[in-house]
A and B are shown apart, each in its own frame.
Chain A
């Protein structure tokens, strides 16, 4: 079937999605994250907001934080340049994606290179929260008496879509995989991994809704926004993984593996948009209540729920 599609069209789709991947993951989102960190360091200094910097933030560590931020920016610029160089090299050498697929591995490798700084930031954020918990010394604690439910954070239609798409993929996969008796370990592994991922999404959502806050000082309104962003990210991730699996299965069925690299690139971009993008959009830094991190704040306004 791929023979009927002109190679120019296939290459156009691939270059477009790969350029999008370079822009989104190495330019757009790193810039947004760096601006966010700079905004916090500039507007909420450790002298006035010591609880935000639990490890005894000094001028020395402030300098270290700024230099780490510069390193983050430089790394992303370097990866973006590398991506651009790969694109130019492909164009110059007249690259043609393999008919039987397999080239998507290079797209994935480049993606992992792009995600390294995000993973480092996530780990350092967790470390910071851990230190915050150790330093948390308030004697009064408050809680809202309203129960939190799944549909307070995500529309039922999305949850239904996620469930139906998972069933649709599982049915499609099992029907195209042939008789169960002839299944290889790979078939069982794919089915188990995707089911396991969906189970993990459910556990993450359940823990976010009823679980403890990562940041002990976090304001109630901010906590709700965090739960909303986690819940939506997980539900959309489930939808996307099902759609992606259906599309790759269809590509295998109809001999369209030549589209695997742009498909993988597009899927990973969607994951980032729905993960980092959604979080940045739902928790705008200007709207975060930083007063809870001020020195001498005894009861965290964290738990001051809006009046009903």
Chain B
């Protein structure tokens, strides 16, 4: 029930942390509802910045792998085992590929697609804002 990170790896530390925790969930090292260490404890044990661990926890919470219950701490999400296989980055990439393909089919140039994408991102309100 431990995770390992390599500080010399090219993979960002928060990504390694996410992968490590997902791996433990996948292997059944932690069960739904099990408590997880606090951000401070994990950061100190791995000799990392608190912000790095906080970022990993935030993304894991977004993916419903973990859930934070206020002062009671952080726990493994009830659906963690099911959600661990879902890769949001991969899903976003496949959706964008689909859109880019359709735009190119209609004759749009890569430059026009990039400008349109940037413009769409700027026009849409930021989530949570």
Chain A residues with CB under 8 Å of chain B are 139-148, 209-213, 216, 299, 303-305, 307-308
Contacts and interface: CB of A to CB of B under 8 A. Distances in A.
Contacts of B89: none
Contacts, number: 71
- Count class of interface residues, chain B: 20 to 34
A143 to B, nearest CB: 4
A145 B24 contact: yes
Interface in B65-86: 73
A147 to B, nearest CB: 4
Contacts of A147: 35-38, 41, 73
27 contacts: A139-B6, A140-B5, A140-B6, A140-B7, A141-B45, A142-B3, A143-B2, A143-B42, A144-B2, A144-B37, A145-B1, A145-B2, A145-B3, A145-B24, A145-B29, A145-B37, A146-B35, A146-B37, A148-B37, A209-B41, A212-B44, A213-B44, A216-B47, A303-B4, A303-B45, A307-B1, A308-B1
A301 B42 CA distance: 17
Contact of B47 (A209, A212, A307, A308): A212
Interface centre among A139, A141, A211, by most chain B C-beta atoms within 10 angstroms, is: A141
- In order of increasing CB-CB distance, the 3 nearest A-B pairs are A143-B45, A212-B44, A142-B4
B21 interface: yes
A139 B7 contact: yes
Nearest to A302: B45
B58 interface: no
A140 B37 contact: no
B73 A143 contact: no
Nearest to A216: B47
Contacts of B47: 141, 212, 216
Contacts of B30: 145
Contacts of A209: 41
A207 to B, nearest CB: 9
A84 B37 CA distance: 52
A303 B73 contact: no
Contact of B46 (A141, A148, A299): A141
Contacts of B7: 139-141
B44 A210 contact: yes
A22 B77 CA distance: 58
B105 interface: no
Interface in B1-39: 1-8, 21, 24, 29-30, 35-38
Nearest to A148: B41
B55 interface: no
Nearest to B37: A147
Given A145-B21, A210-B38, A211-B44, 11 more contacts: A139-B8, A140-B6, A141-B4, A141-B5, A141-B46, A142-B3, A143-B37, A145-B30, A145-B37, A147-B73, A212-B47
A221 B44 CA distance: 16
A146 B1 contact: yes
A143 B3 contact: yes
A287 to B, nearest CB: 21
